[in-house]
Amino acid sequence: MDKKEIQDYFIGILEEEEDVSAGIAAIRTLLTVLERDKSETVQELDSNLRAAGDAMRKTDHPGAAVRSGCELFLRFITLAKLDTETFAECKAIMLHRGKLFLKKLMEARGKVAKLASNFIIDGSRVLTHSHSRVVLQAMKEAAKANKRFDVYVTVSSPDNSGVLMSKKLRDLGIPVTVILDSAVGYIMEQVDLVMVGAEGVVESGGIINKVGSYTMALCAREMKKPFYVLCESFKFVRLYPLNQQDLPDEFKHPTSKLENGKDLQEEHPLVDYTPPSYISLLFTDLGILTPSAVSDELVKLYL
């Protein structure tokens, strides 16, 4: 598959299957590339898979999730290099491991949701930001357990993704109120907890997520409300940002704007960085983690 075919396949998954995240779509694309690849050596195959990952990162989709998903997939399947004598055997094991890896990740969201739903108490009021599939799943689990709770969701400019989140919550019969992004401080004193997703979890235990998450975390800390993050482990990314400006441009801006040479100083960032000190707990498929435990889990995943 050439670069254009890879990008079209990746984008096609995201457009046709609304419930699939960018990270999972990237891994499914890599698995398809692996199946169709005509390489004759492990080195060539590895190079082609990395090129496919680079191609997907050049689309206008969440850079952090695509990067971490691709890196973990390649790390997982290429352990097969050490196990076999022939390339055919090696590729067969890579395919098998890739399918196992994808199956495991497909189950991750459900595990996270079940853990987090226990923290939604009957009668509570929850504030969330933007549209997060795993947060939606957690709230669905809580509703299935006959818990009564109210949700406040931000509009989440500039794409107004919170409106989609509110629609899906209403479809589940969950009471929801859409608020302005600028009303986070106003509403914070009325809620019991904040629950957000993440596009990426970095080595410090902080998160990269839709712009506005950091503001929400600051308000939650000031008003002593728990700030919970729900995130699958394939979004753990090897990155250690020191501040907002330290985030790579490929995470903050669409690739189309980066490649067109636009003045990024005049462009609004799509994500921001929330430091670990503002995060109460992270709910992952590896368990419930404190931010300080994330670095240990990253080491286990990547080494």
Tell me: pLDDT of 111 over 90: yes
pTM of the model: 0.86
Q: How far apart are CA 219 and CA 89, in angstroms?
A: 54
What are the tens digits of pLDDT across the range 117-153? 999 999 999 999 999 999 999 999 999 999 999 999 9
What percent of the chain clears pLDDT 70, i.e. is strictly above it? Answer: 92
Segment 8-18 shows an average pLDDT of: 88
Segment 143-167 shows an average pLDDT of: 94
**Annotation: CATH topology of 109-302:** Rossmann fold (3.40.50)
pLDDT at 153 (0 to 100): 97
270: tokens are 């799509």
pLDDT at 102 (0 to 100): 87
Bridge partner list, 178: 153
- Strands 176-179 and 193-196 turn out to be unpaired
Q: What values do phi and psi take at 289, rounded to 5?
A: -115, 150
In angstroms, how far is the first alpha carbon of the chain from the final one? 29
Question: 196: burial class by Cβ within 10 Å (0-12, 13-18, 19+)?
Answer: buried
Q: How confident is the model at residue 227 (pLDDT cuts 50, 70, 90)?
A: very high
What are the tens digits of pLDDT across the range 187-206? 999 999 999 999 999 989 99
Question: Residue 158, preceding bond cis, omega within 30 degrees?
Answer: yes
User: What mean pLDDT value characterizes the chain?
Assistant: 87
DSSP for 199-257 reads: SEE-TTS-EEEETTHHHHHHHHHHTT--EEEE--GGGB-S---SSGGGS-HHHHS-HHH
What angle separates helix 87-106 from helix 22-36, to the nearest 10 degrees? 160
Q: How far apart are CA 198 and CA 67, in angstroms?
A: 14
Tell me: pLDDT of 7 over 80: yes
What are the tens digits of pLDDT across the range 59-109? 877 678 888 888 888 888 876 555 566 778 788 888 888 888 888 888 999
Q: How far apart are CA 261 and CA 269, in angstroms?
A: 15
Closest CA to 205 of 280, 136, 135, 134: 280
62: tokens are 């969440």
pLDDT at 42 (0 to 100): 78
Query: Comparing 110-124, 156-170, 263-277, which segment has the lowest mean pLDDT?
Result: 263-277
Superfamily for 3-106? translation initiation factor eif-2b, domain 1 (1.20.120.420)
Tell me: pLDDT of 162 over 60: yes
Tell me: pLDDT of 255 over 70: no
Q: How far apart are CA 199 and CA 237, in angstroms?
A: 10
Question: For residues 184 and 216, is the Cβ–Cβ distance under 8 A?
Answer: yes
Helices and strands of the chain, counted as H and E runs: 13, 10
Per domain, the residue ranges of the chain are: 3-106, 109-302
Site of tokens 């399918």: 99
CA distances from 267 to 13, 252, 261, 263 (A): 28, 10, 12, 7
